[in-house]
Amino acid sequence: MKFAICQELFENWDWLRQCQFIAKTGYTGIELAPFTLAPRISEVSPERRR
């Protein structure tokens, strides 16, 4: 069975630290909380979305 976790729980962590911890604890997916990336999702550049 695969499990995912919402990364809003790690709001003050940088992206790499979030990914490493989430993988280390056995999760196989991440749900992105748009407000943790920018005040408005439209402010996230196309480059960063990749």
Hey, is 31 helix, strand or coil? strand
| Number of independent structural domains in the chain | 1
C-alpha span between 49 and 33 (Å, rounded): 13
Q: Which is higher by pLDDT, 34 or 19?
A: 19
pLDDT of residue 18: 95
- pTM for this one? 0.72
Q: Is the dihedral of CA 39, 17, 8, 23 positive or negative?
A: positive
C-alpha span between 31 and 4 (Å, rounded): 7
pLDDT of 41 > 90? The answer is no
Q: Is the dihedral of CA 43, 47, 14, 17 positive or negative?
A: positive
Structure tokens at 8: 């809003």
Domain range holding 34? 4-49
